[in-house]
Amino acid sequence: MQPRVDSALTLRDGRRLAYAEWGDPDGRPILFFHGTPSGRLLHNPDPLAFEGLRTRWITVDRPGYGRSDPLARRDLLGWARDVEALADLLGLTEFSLCGLSGGGPHALACAYALASRVRRTAVVSGIGRLTPETLRRMYPERRWGVRLSRTAAWIIPLLMRLVDDPRQVDRHYTKVLAKCPNDRHILECPEVRDMLKANWADANRQGLRAYAADGRLFALPWPFDPSAIRGTVRFWHGSADTSIPLEMARSLSEVIPGATLEIVPGAGHFLFFEQFRAIVSWAAGDEG
């Protein structure tokens, strides 16, 4: 499925921010923040995905991904400023948010900084704050990445080229399959597989610096306190997610006032595709 719109806007500082749109152009707007390393072309490939949902689904490339210009030393609250500018340029007074995996902290930063404009925030399989306990629950490759991001971030792009370069889409797909065994029935769907490969190729067309920048953001303390978020937040997380520990969603849902956690029994990291309509319906305000 191709986006209805695939375009870019120019921000005040001259940077280009790329976005795509799916669904109903007159529907309720939901801004979707992709995972890591991914981009605006990540979508549910089911041609009926938005049937009856009355949703304007807007996906956005973070700086350095896809067709968005890079930004040195970007941070989570800087992303909120970019999103506010995007919303202004698109004429969105209010909107909801959905952050997937590495997009989770970015969605929460916007929920914190743009509280007066954000209706609801959905975080799906989202990475949370890194603690010794949650680090122990992550696979060794990711633990080493966190440690190096904190002490020698310059070396991360080089190691990514050697260990897991998402631009080598077939090899990357094989590694994702191995890391997420509970998602095999989703990932081996031809439409999902082909979409993911095309998405990875486009998202990392500028190189691996955006991927490394995400890793650095996740490894460092967040520049806002999640307990200060005021808004409607719901987490979706699989009980069998081998990529992002369930404990991350659980701990965040406990500190954000009024937040709820939907644990999907037996689901892995890619539950987004199976729970898509439920997530979109909730974010749009169709479900309580």
- State which H helix or E strand residue 242 sits in: none
At 144, is the pLDDT very low, low, confident or very high (cuts 50, 70, 90)?
A: low
Nearest-angstrom CA–CA distance, 212 and 134: 20
Q: What is the CATH classification number for the domain harbouring 178?
A: 3.40.50.1820
At 212, is the pLDDT very low, low, confident or very high (cuts 50, 70, 90)?
A: confident
CA within 13 Å, CB half, 180: 24
Among the residue ranges 115-124, 163-172, 227-236, the one predicted with the least confidence is 163-172
Q: What is the DSSP string of 142-166?
A: HHHHHHHHHH-GGGHHHHHHHH--T
Q: What pLDDT is attached to residue 275? A: 97
Is there a contact between 31 and 96 (Cβ–Cβ < 8 Å)?
A: yes
Range of the domain at 83: 5-284
The tens digit of pLDDT for each residue in 154-197 reads 666 666 766 788 899 999 999 999 989 999 999 999 999 999 99
Please state the rounded mean pLDDT for residues 13-22.
98
Please count the structural domains in the chain.
1
Q: Is the pLDDT of residue 134 over 90?
A: no
Nearest by Cα to 231 from 58, 89, 86, 80? 80
Is there a contact between 76 and 55 (Cβ–Cβ < 8 Å)?
A: no
Q: What pLDDT is attached to residue 65? A: 98
What is the chain's mean pLDDT, rounded? 92
Is there a contact between 187 and 196 (Cβ–Cβ < 8 Å)?
A: yes
The tens digit of pLDDT for each residue in 241-266 reads 988 999 999 999 999 999 999 999 99
Strands 16-23 and 55-60: antiparallel
Phi, psi of 6 (to 5 degrees): -140, 105
Strands 95-100 and 118-124: parallel
Q: Is the pLDDT of residue 219 over 90?
A: no
Alpha-carbon 162 to chain mean position:
24
What is this structure's pTM? 0.94
Nearest-angstrom CA–CA distance, 197 and 188: 12
